[in-house]
Amino acid sequence: MDLLLLLFSILLSYLFFKIWKLIDSKKDKDCYILDYQCHKPSDDRMVSTQFSGEIIHRNKNLGLNEYKFLLKAIVSSGIGEQTYAPRLVFEGREERPSLQDGISEMEDFYVESIGKLLERQKISPKEIDILVVNVSMLSTMPSLASRIINHYKMREDVKVFNLTGMGCSASLISVDIVKNIFKSYANKLALIATSESLGPNWYSGNNRSMILANCLFRSGGCAILLTNKRSLRKKAMFRLKCMVRTHHGAREDSYNCCIQSEDEQGRVGFYLGKNLPKAATRAFVDNLKVITPKILPVTELLRFMLKLLIKKIKMHQNPSKASMNLPPVTPIKAGINFKTGIEHFCIHTGGKAVIDGIGHSLDLSEYDIEPARMTLHRFGNTSASSLWYVLAYMEAKKRLKRGDRVFMISFGAGFKCNSCVWEVVRDLTVGGSKGNVWNHCIDDYPPKSISNPYLEKFGWIQDEELDTFKIPDGFM
């Protein structure tokens, strides 16, 4: 009898040990952001209103109609006068880019950002276990990831991923790669470098759907340090709660709405189709259908289901309305209150229309969309890195408190919509990061007005006629 009790006790203890070990091991699979560093190019690369006019003027493929189109586009873009462009544009060589221009642009980014990040955290490059680099429109041999490894002399067994062609949603794809690696490997440090190469991809033609990219995209980048090390959890800033990736590449209209191509004269550019807003909305809706149950409380979901049920009952009672082929109810159209599960909304700065559209769809206040709107104004659309400038704004404004949840939403060519939720794991309202890209100007934001002076300086073009149009001497 005593032997049976002993065996039972040993078996029970072993069972409890295995359960404890299983629960404990899950903690090693969590994905934390230890720190991040957004890139601030040098001030000699800042794009003023005057310089924008000079860039447009020296493009001999443009005429009065294109000038009017560009003026309208940039006035309504939400972009200010302090964004940054590639260095070759300031040297007047945008029509003759070289491979080295793209490489140098990326070196400026990663030498400054990764260097500052590792130094601030007192981490040696040899401690990095995983490196993920995403730059969509530049592919070199050796890869940009290899160049970073060479520059920082990282270990020979570092796990490396070099992503291209992923568009503006690439940084969340990089996070997803790290998250999945963390599930299999404990006690690791990962470094993500996210940026975009604009120099070799500056469009010098006159196709309106392609020249629009010159108005929106600006230089930038971000280095992000992630970990699942237990010893670093108390130093971490954010913990990844969930992520959802939506890809509509199988749909021809979505696939072709945002694509790198050549115009009729063979000039390479980035085409933004008129059906882009529709494709983005469709991907956003499908993404929300999956992530909404993961991030909102049960009470809000039950309220939504009850509202949907009542609507179906009313339609059943009134067949005439049901036969009108009304659009299906989605999380956007049903009036779900996302603020019941989210405190902060980190929106991709794809343009003023993108920010306004998401704000309207999710019923967000001006306070909620302020970080995205101010990021667009100060830094422009920096592609995949734009989310981190928005997050940095929230941190600089001391909005992020322990326990808060941050909803990141990004869109990219393909067509993709990727989203995730981060939990703030320590109070970021005190002190703040010394390396925050907003520190030098955060007290000036939000300004009284974010309208840019392009219309004031170039508005006279609107009154010009094609037959008599001539740019005044010495105006540019």
As given in the structure block, the two tokens for residue 283 are 């991907």
DSSP assignment letter at 326 = P
List C-alpha distances in Å: 4 to 9, 16, 188. Answer: 8, 18, 44
- Our answer to whether residue 38 is catalytic in this structure is no
What amino acid is encoded at 341 in this protein? G
Catalytic residue, candidates 207, 222, 247, 287: 247
- The amino acid present at 368, given as its one-letter code, is D
Rounded to 5 degrees, φ, ψ at 95 are -85, -10
Let me know if 381 is a catalytic residue: yes
What does the block give as tokens for 398? 């001391």
HSE of 135, CA atoms in CB hemisphere, 13 A: 29
Residue in 206, 215, 257, 344 annotated catalytic: 344
Which value, in Å, is the radius of gyration of the alpha carbons in the chain? Answer: 25
Query: Whose CA is closest to 222, among 256, 195, 254?
Result: 195
CA distance 149 to 377: 34
Whole-angstrom Cα distance, residue 102 to residue 86? 9
Asked about 168 being catalytic, the answer comes back as: yes
In sequence order, the β-bridge partners of residue 346 are 408
Q: Taking a C-beta distance cutoff of 8 angstroms, is the pair 232, 127 a contact? A: no
Rounded Cα distance between 56 and 92, Å, is 11
39 catalytic per annotation:
no
Known active-site residue 377: yes
Confirm whether 57 is a catalytic residue: no
DSSP code, position 397: T
Q: Which of 38, 168, 346, 417 is catalytic?
A: 168
Catalytic residue among 201, 206, 258, 377: 377
Q: Given the residues 59, 207, 287, 381, select the one marked as catalytic.
A: 381
Residues acting as catalytic residues? 168, 247, 344, 348, 377, 381
